[in-house]
């Protein structure tokens, strides 16, 4: 791992760069980004060593594509057009079906590993990059059999050095399940924020009353629309399905309250407390 | 502050006891709880000095009522029946209208201060009590003019020593606004947990994919149903109103997705990002 290119020097790309520099201090890390200001900031923060352009990836050992998933659809084939046979390219997108499809027939398909590191914060840009972001996190790899064995090995060695656990999944299953445990959370949080902000127009004092519970549930509403709108677009049908179920559950809960059936309200909550055991399983 | 009674030695009552013992090491702290096991645990954990029963409050300087809000409606008048003229009694309930109403005509009304410290975690019971829980938190006080001036002073001195900032509000306004910034968050979180757990029945692998975003939005779904069902019951009409608005916002978002209007989806999220500034204001 001598020559590494990070395409998209934001939260995810930048965090990869910081960890890789620690593990391979001798490596040269190049940044590619359509925002010149982000590249300059990434250099200033010591995230990348220097700027580069797409055709430079010919010399890469590793290329990480960490741009919004709509941009990945156009950037990834261009990257593959330019890499050598020894280069491993992986992405970090929160959708996998469209991305895998877009390079399915690419002559360099075997240089690509479709990855989704389940890691991040609600912040974005180079300033949001942090060391150790991927430690103890899950990395979902799709269509592993379509990546050249020696190149897989290279990427898996890096993931292991970063402290990630690997799960293999097909792109369809990935997109379906991630809609529940990630995409829906973001919408529930955004709409919670919206509902409360709409109220605040008239009632400025309201936020003095907000505590850590509100803060925790609304945290994801700080997330980047540039990252999330394309995710919802690519995973539209799954996300709509989860939203449907979520809305129905909320309506049922409201109905129980309207019927003053607070014993049932109690039972609903008690049954869902089980989430604590599940979350303990995650950590 | 020599003789202090904590009624309900759980997360809130226990955390008050721990801080008070630090500030007044000479004080004697008595616990009252209908769960014998909680009292024994509270003694073992050094939260209270000894157990007591309701009629003992005759000797109290301070009584803190920290039981679920349905229990408060019956316990609070009993407490007031038993206290001396020098005793200040405050509650910590997440609803204020019914509680204030229930003691409105009580001959000892002026011994009571209606309080809602906006502090807590998703855990419950004596084991959940922590030092410093109230530091830098908001405490909402209702109908302050109905509390005897000298007794107000006693309570406010303690709140100040605990590091709390005070907001005065009428019970109606409290219950209306707290529905938005606290009660709704809990329902959104419980129903998110429910939606995902229902899915998990068939798909056990799904939780391997959950990250910190899901964990944060679903955290409140670990909360105690015994505490929350009575809150929703007492604040029924306000909570139903917030749920209505929340469900409508979710439906609108789903409609935008169905219409493939991802520019509007982007704008919805961008407008809600403003929550970050608001949350910075809270901290």
Is the CB of residue A118 less than 8 Å from the CB of residue B211?
yes
Q: Provide the pLDDT confidence category of residue B274 given band limits of 50, 70 and 90.
A: confident
**Is residue A206 pLDDT above 80, yes or no?**
no
User: Is B272's CB within 8 Å of A219's CB?
Assistant: no
Q: Tokens representing B160?
A: 């100040």
Distance set, CA B8 to CA A195, B47, B119 (Å): 34, 12, 16
- What is residue A83's predicted lDDT score, i.e. its pLDDT? 98
Q: What percent of chain B has pLDDT over 90?
A: 89
Phi, psi of B147 (to 5 degrees): -105, 140
- How does pLDDT run across A139-174, given as a tens digit for each residue? 999 999 999 999 999 999 999 999 999 999 999 999
From the candidates A180, A240, A251, A267, which should be mutated to test the interface with B, based on the most B CB atoms within 10 A? A180
- What is residue A144's predicted lDDT score, i.e. its pLDDT? 98
- Alpha-carbon distance A56 to A31, whole Å? 10
**Is residue B79 pLDDT above 60, yes or no?**
yes
User: Is B216's CB within 8 Å of A216's CB?
Assistant: yes
SS3 content of chain A, % helix, strand, coil (to 5): 60, 15, 30
Is the CB of residue B43 less than 8 Å from the CB of residue B31?
yes
Residue closest to A167 by CA, chosen among A156, A157, A181, A180 = A156
Say which residue, A274 or B244, is predicted with more confidence: B244
Residue closest to B189 by CA, chosen among B228, B155, B152 = B228
User: Is B220's CB within 8 Å of A217's CB?
Assistant: yes
- How does pLDDT run across B90-133, given as a tens digit for each residue? 999 999 999 999 999 999 999 999 999 999 998 999 999 999 99
Q: What percent of chain A has pLDDT over 70?
A: 98
| Mean pLDDT value across residues B246-253 | 98
Q: Tokens representing A220?
A: 């994801």
Q: Chain A contacts of B191, Cβ < 8 Å?
A: 246, 249-250, 253
Q: Chain A contacts of B221, Cβ < 8 Å?
A: 269, 272-273, 275
Q: Provide the pLDDT confidence category of residue A131 given band limits of 50, 70 and 90.
A: very high
Identify the closest residue of chain B to A221 by CA–CA distance.
B273
Is the CB of residue A246 less than 8 Å from the CB of residue B192?
yes
Across all residues in chain A, what is the average pLDDT?
Answer: 95
From the candidates A255, A268, A269, which should be mutated to test the interface with B, based on the most B CB atoms within 10 A? A269
Q: Chain B contacts of A184, Cβ < 8 Å?
A: 192, 195-196
Q: Chain B contacts of A243, Cβ < 8 Å?
A: 250, 253-254, 257
Is the CB of residue B33 less than 8 Å from the CB of residue B60?
no
Is the CB of residue B77 less than 8 Å from the CB of residue B102?
yes
- What is residue B281's predicted lDDT score, i.e. its pLDDT? 62
Question: Radius of gyration over alpha carbons of chain B, in Å?
Answer: 21
**Is residue A190 pLDDT above 90, yes or no?**
yes
DSSP letter, residue A130: -
Q: Considering CB atoms only, which of B184, B203, B279 is closest to A195?
A: B184
Lowest mean pLDDT among A199-203, B63-67, B84-88: A199-203
- How does pLDDT run across A50-76, given as a tens digit for each residue? 999 999 999 999 999 999 999 999 999
Residue closest to B155 by CA, chosen among B97, B95, B91, B198 = B91
Partner residues linked to B7 by β-bridges: B32, B65
- What is residue A42's predicted lDDT score, i.e. its pLDDT? 98
- What is residue B209's predicted lDDT score, i.e. its pLDDT? 84
**Is residue A245 pLDDT above 60, yes or no?**
yes
Residue whose entry in the numeric block shows the structure tokens 């590793």:
A62
| ipTM, two decimals | 0.92
Distance set, CA B192 to CA A88, A189, A276, B160, B214 (Å): 38, 10, 13, 37, 9
User: Is B249's CB within 8 Å of A203's CB?
Assistant: no
User: Is A243's CB within 8 Å of B265's CB?
Assistant: no
Partner residues linked to A4 by β-bridges: A29, A62
- Alpha-carbon distance B136 to B237, whole Å? 30
Q: Considering CB atoms only, which of B191, B230, B275 is closest to A218?
A: B275
Identify the closest residue of chain A to B230 by CA–CA distance.
A262
Across all residues in chain B, what is the average pLDDT?
Answer: 95
- What is residue A152's predicted lDDT score, i.e. its pLDDT? 97
The Cα of A134 is separated from the nearest Cα of chain B by a number of Å equal to 11
Q: How many CB pairs under 8 A join A and B?
A: 303
- How does pLDDT run across B192-213, given as a tens digit for each residue? 999 998 887 765 667 778 888 8
Identify the closest residue of chain B to A269 by CA–CA distance.
B225
- How does pLDDT run across B10-51, given as a tens digit for each residue? 999 999 999 999 999 999 999 999 999 999 999 999 999 999
| Mean pLDDT value across residues A225-233 | 97
**Is residue B263 pLDDT above 80, yes or no?**
yes
- What is residue A203's predicted lDDT score, i.e. its pLDDT? 58
Q: Chain B contacts of A219, Cβ < 8 Å?
A: 213, 216-217, 279
Is the CB of residue A109 less than 8 Å from the CB of residue A80?
yes
Identify the closest residue of chain B to A282 by CA–CA distance.
B208
- How does pLDDT run across A27-45, given as a tens digit for each residue? 999 999 999 999 999 999 9
């Amino acid at each position: 791992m001598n020559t590494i290119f990070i395409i998209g020097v934001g939260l995810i790309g930048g965090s990869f760069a910081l960890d890789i520099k620690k593990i391979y201090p001798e490596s040269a890390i190049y940044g590619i980004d359509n925002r010149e200001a982000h590249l300059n900031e990434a250099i200033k923060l010591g995230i990348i060593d220097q700027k580069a352009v797409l055709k430079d990836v010919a010399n890469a050992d590793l290329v990480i594509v960490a741009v919004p998933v709509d941009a990945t659809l156009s950037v990834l084939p261009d990257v593959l057009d330019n890499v050598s046979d020894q280069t491993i390219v992986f992405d970090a997108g929160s959708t996998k079906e469209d991305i895998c499809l877009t390079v399915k027939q690419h002559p360099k398909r075997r240089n690509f590993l479709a990855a989704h590191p389940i890691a991040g914060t609600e912040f974005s840009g180079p300033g949001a990059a942090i060391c150790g972001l991927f430690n103890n996190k899950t990395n979902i790899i799709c269509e592993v059999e379509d990546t050249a064995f020696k190149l897989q090995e290279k990427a898996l060695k890096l993931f292991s050095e970063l402290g990630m656990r690997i799960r293999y999944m097909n792109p369809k299953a990935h997109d379906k399940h991630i809609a529940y445990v990630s995409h829906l959370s973001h919408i529930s949080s955004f709409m919670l924020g919206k509902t409360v902000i709409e109220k605040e127009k008239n009632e400025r004092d309201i936020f003095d009353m907000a505590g850590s519970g509100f803060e925790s549930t609304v945290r994801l509403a700080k997330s980047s629309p540039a990252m999330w709108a394309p995710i919802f677009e690519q995973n539209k049908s799954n996300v709509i399905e989860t939203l449907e179920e979520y809305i129905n559950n909320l309506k049922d809960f409201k109905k129980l309250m309207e019927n003053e059936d607070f014993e049932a309200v109690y039972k609903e909550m008690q049954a869902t407390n089980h989430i604590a055991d599940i979350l303990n399983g995650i950590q």
